[in-house]
Homo-oligomer: A and B are copies of this chain.
Amino acid sequence: MSLRSLGVALHCRCIQTESRRIGSLIEKIELIRPNSHCDETEIIATLKKTGEQVCLDPKAPWLKRVIAAIMSNTKP
């Protein structure tokens, strides 16, 4: 579990990012801009079967393809 406890939202939620290409496992992606709690962009995916939340690297090329696929409603 690479997310800090959600109970205390006074800092970034992501400690490390998942490097494996998990596009097909993803049900939802949250793109979170830097804000008062965290000064970094955070990308958090929610997985289909488990509902687990996983942090992703905003610069990962495969993530850009997954987002484009979601936006155009096609399989990645």
Closest to A29 in B: B31
A4: Cβ under 8 A from any B Cβ: no
The yes or no answer to A33 lying at the interface (CB within 8 A) is yes
The tally of residues in A whose CB lies under 8 Å from a CB in B reads: 23
Bound Cα distance A29, B71 (Å): 12
B28 touches A70 (CB 8 A): no
Which residues of B lie under 8 Å from residue A71 when comparing CB positions?
A: 31, 41, 43, 58-59, 63-64, 67
Whether the pair A28, B30 counts as a contact (CB closer than 8 A) is: yes
Q: Is the CB of B27 within 8 A of A32?
A: yes
Select one of B27, B41, B70 contacting A70, CB under 8 A.
B41
Contacts A58-B73, A70-B41; A28 near B34 (Cβ below 8 A): no
